[in-house]
Amino acid sequence: MITRDEALAIVHEFVQSPSLRRHMYAVEAAMRFYARQFGEDEEKWGITGLLHDFDWEIHPNLDDHPIKGAAILRERGVPEEIVRAILTHAPERTGLRPQTRLEKALRACDEITGLITAVALVRPSKSLYDLKVKSVKKKWKDKAFAAGVDRQDIEEAVAEFGVDLWEHVGNVIEAMRGIAPELGLDGSRAQKSDA
């Protein structure tokens, strides 16, 4: 097993974009939340979430990500269980469907964090602390909002994970609140825009 510091070093080596790093931290937080809820290995689940998109900047097309990234992770000694989970978060590209709870959790937590972030950023507070599920639900129905978020894929992934969609949204909001300052979603952006 690699440590979080080792995983973070991989992220910092391959990911320069602050927004991509924040996405990966958000998925890590959601994965850690569910690991605690299910009595699973929190470090393993967290590291899986942290590393899942580490190769996006070097393989920014859908033919290569995450397939080519898997080889790099194997070279770095990342356990195969984590590598396989990362491969299954993009089953339409890798041909590998999520089988384990870890794999299903990663797929369910990935894209929803982006939608939650987008909803938080359009709020006057620019904060997760006052974000409610109903706000996400309202924006969910607006297909023009965060149009790049594949809502059908989220619904399928969450159903496969076996959690109610809106309960899941609430869980992920709660998980992301725990690291809101690192995500830039603690209201500090709103304070800067007011200044």
**What integer pLDDT is reported at residue 181 of this predicted model?**
97
**What integer pLDDT is reported at residue 90 of this predicted model?**
85
**What integer pLDDT is reported at residue 195 of this predicted model?**
46
| Token output for 141 | 């129905």
CATH number of the 4-194 domain: 1.10.3210
| Regions of the chain where pLDDT drops below 50 | 195
**What integer pLDDT is reported at residue 78 of this predicted model?**
97
**What integer pLDDT is reported at residue 192 of this predicted model?**
62
**What integer pLDDT is reported at residue 64 of this predicted model?**
86
**What integer pLDDT is reported at residue 191 of this predicted model?**
64
Cis peptide before 66 (omega within 30 of 0): yes
Q: At 38, which amino acid appears?
A: F
**What integer pLDDT is reported at residue 94 of this predicted model?**
85
Q: What is the pLDDT of residues 177-190, one digit of tens each?
A: 999 999 999 998 77
Is residue 158 within 8 A of residue 168, CB to CB? The reply is yes
Domains in the chain: boundaries: 4-194
Nearest to 190 by CA among 128, 115, 136: 128
Does the model's pTM come out above 0.75? yes
Residue position matching structure tokens 């590291």: 47
